[in-house]
């Protein structure tokens, strides 16, 4: 979803991503640091409506 920029163009996309982030949060203790950083980057991109570019 982020790769298609739905978090900028589509309010429903924003909601769906935030719901997924909330669902992932219950597993926070077992996630690696890399996974946690990725999720935090997703949240930041959604909140600030930044373009998503992962390279």
The rounded distance, in Å, linking the Cα atoms of 46 and 5 is 10
| Residue 42 near residue 1, CB atoms below 8 Å | no
Q: Please state the three-class secondary structure of the chain as a single string.
A: CHHHCHHHHCHHHHHHHHHHHHHHHCCHHHCCHHHHHHHHHHHHHHHHCCCCCCC
| Residue 53 near residue 4, CB atoms below 8 Å | no
Q: Is residue 32 part of a domain?
A: yes
Q: Is residue 53 part of a domain?
A: no
pLDDT at position 15 = 84
- pLDDT (tens digit, 9 = 90+) per residue, 10-54? 777 788 888 888 899 899 999 999 999 988 988 888 888 777 766
Q: What is the pTM of this model?
A: 0.69
- The boundaries of the domain holding residue 40 are 2-48
How many structural domains compose the chain?
Answer: 1
């Amino acid at each position: 979803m982020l790769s298609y920029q739905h978090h900028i163009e589509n309010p429903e996309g924003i909601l769906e991503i935030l719901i997924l982030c909330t669902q992932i949060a219950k597993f926070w203790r077992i996630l690696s640091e890399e996974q946690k950083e990725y999720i935090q980057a997703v949240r930041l991109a959604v909140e600030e409506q930044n373009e998503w570019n992962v390279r």
